[in-house]
Amino acid sequence: LKNSCKGSVCEPGDEGYNNSKWAPNATRPSKIIVTPEETEDVVKAIKYARSQGLPLAVRGGGHSSSTASATDGLLVDMQKMNNIRVDADAKVAYVQAGAKVAQVEAETIKYGTSLLQVGIGGYTIGGGIGYSTGAYGLAVDNLVSATVVLASGEVAQASDSENPDLLWGLRGGGSNFGIVVELGVKLHPQRADAYSISYVYLPSQLPAVVEAINEYRKAQNSHESVFFLIGLGPDKNPYVILNGLSNSSQEEGEGAFNRFLDLKPVNTTAVQVPWAEVSKLTDSLNVVPGGKIFVGAHVDNFDVEQVQKTYDAWQEAVKKAPFSIVMYEFFDYGKVASVPLGDTAFAQRYDVNDYITSAWDDLLKLRSVVSGSSSQAARETLGYANYADPFCTRNDNDEYARKVFGANYARLQEVKKKYDPDVAFDRWFAVSPAA
């Protein structure tokens, strides 16, 4: 394998061996790490792993906090396959799976276009929520093609005209069918800059901020995103924080977000940011390694009483785990909800998502409080699949895969039977093949 691959093949102790991830708890001591530089390297890695009976996993950006992209066997690390080419006439970007969002945005903005909002591979085939969700939908709704290496070593093309069932499965079914080496994603017109805010409030201001968010949401534009966070500041004191992005001029952005300024935050940041820099706004949270385990929840009730309960529960968690945060994400979900559930494998076409990171002992307790007053249907979901890390590798049976894929699960079983009948790819919400 070492002699035949263009990319590197490393074992523990070799120079270049690196199994680190964003969350150190999510690593495994891989027996072999293959870092491909071309598709044929991926083919050889899969064939070798299967011939030796080694478990397989693939790592894209390394930002999962689960072990879905880690293994004791053979790990395919896509980081060097990060080429990006743009077909400006067709308005499609062809992006290798190891590219980061910041790299993609820096390239596509040259053409006055943008993808969606940290590695592009897992982010896209797991759903893909980001700054452009309100205007253009999920990343999976903009995925038009993929090149995939199957468990057999065959290189398959997936598009509306070639293996359309595989493309359907990749639109939310994640790594269940093979290793994606390249994605074709629609591009959309993009202005050169956007308006970004970050307002910091005292905990006593939480009720006013929550009420202002609920009023704002009644008129939220599709090009606006708002994030409400609970966390410790640099001074180790608790704060509530409102971050916002308006894909617009400063004047329009101020018109949308000034209501939050009227609440008199204790610290304010408001800047017009070049679009190529937008994806870097959260760089401090995305350093590898540097993260902790996180979980998401579907929240359909966001009111003062419930958020105050969340704050109180977070205060207890942060005593043991100072890095703990709770974040609510607010996009205009009209575009997402307009896509029929069966059009893609992705099954979470609902409104507010919540992101929580804390120590393992407190994580699921905090999650239960966050969604405590939401509907039973919301509480029983796993939330956004890319945030469901504590559940995605519980694959002794398909209980959690059934939950995350819902009504689309039976069709996914048929796709799994066709493309991965032996379940070689079993790390992330592993689907059981149809009988």
Q: Under a CB-based contact definition with an 8 Å cutoff, are residues 346 and 385 in contact?
A: yes
Q: Using DSSP, how many helices (H) and how many strands (E) does the chain show? A: 15, 18
| Alpha-carbon span 266 to 201, nearest angstrom | 6
pLDDT at 28: 87
CATH number, domain at 258?
Answer: 3.40.462.20
Do the domain assignments include residue 186? no
Rounded to 10 degrees, what is the CA torsion of 232, 234, 237, 238? -30
Do the domain assignments include residue 247? yes
Do the domain assignments include residue 112? no
pLDDT along the chain (435 residues), means of 10: 96 90 80 98 98 95 81 96 94 92 86 70 89 92 96 98 98 97 94 96 98 96 96 96 97 97 98 87 60 83 95 94 92 93 93 72 88 89 90 92 96 98 96 97
From 77, 110, 131, give the residue that closes a domain.
Answer: 77
From 52, 77, 102, give the residue that closes a domain.
Answer: 77
| Alpha-carbon span 253 to 109, nearest angstrom | 20
CATH number, domain at 51?
Answer: 3.30.43.10
Per residue in 203-237, pLDDT (tens digit) is 999 999 999 999 999 999 999 999 999 999 999 99
Do the domain assignments include residue 1? no
Do the domain assignments include residue 57? yes
Do the domain assignments include residue 197? yes
pLDDT at 31: 97
The pTM of the full predicted model, rounded to 2 decimals, is: 0.94
From 38, 61, 77, give the residue that closes a domain.
Answer: 77
Do the domain assignments include residue 52? yes
Beta strands in 91-223 (DSSP E): 92-96, 113-114, 143-149, 155-159, 179-186, 188-189, 193-201
Do the domain assignments include residue 243? yes
Do residues 349 and 220 share a domain?
A: yes
Report the number of distinct structural domains present in the chain. Answer: 2
Do residues 245 and 381 share a domain?
A: yes
Q: Which residue range is the domain that position 272 belongs to?
A: 193-387
Do residues 212 and 352 share a domain?
A: yes
pLDDT at 356: 77
Per residue in 11-63, pLDDT (tens digit) is 999 998 988 876 777 788 999 999 999 999 999 999 999 999 999 999 987 77
User: What's the alpha-carbon Rg for the chain, to the nearest Å?
Assistant: 21
pLDDT at 162: 98
pLDDT at 243: 96
